[in-house]
Amino acid sequence: MANSLVQFRVDDMTRLQAASICERLGIDLSTAMRMFLSRIVQENGIPFSMKLENDHGAKAALAAMKEASRIAAENGISEMTLDEINEEISAARSAMEG
């Protein structure tokens, strides 16, 4: 099967943003475009959504960790060692069992 060159114009910012997203997905822009065209043919229409998850979850996790640190500092337990933490957990579990 012969190959054809497909060219189109897009503004620089859109191309740069799309290339950056493709790079983060582990592919280049040309590969993404070939994938898109192949899937159009396979699906007989606009084929799929391929996107990165937003980082809302990461932001929420970071906010929770900061809040936990604030609460620990407020209660004077922010400097506990791992052994002290494990002792507290053991004591709490023993109290629940007994």
Q: What is the mean pLDDT of the chain?
A: 86
Q: Tell me the pLDDT tens digit for each residue of 21-61.
A: 999 999 999 999 999 999 899 989 888 766 666 767 778 88
Model-wide pTM > 0.75 = no
Are the CB atoms for 47 and 36 separated by under 8 Å?
Answer: yes
pLDDT exceeds cutoff 90 at 13: yes
Report whether 22 contacts 32 (CB < 8 A). yes
What is the C-alpha to C-alpha distance for residues 75 and 67, in angstroms, rounded to an integer? 12
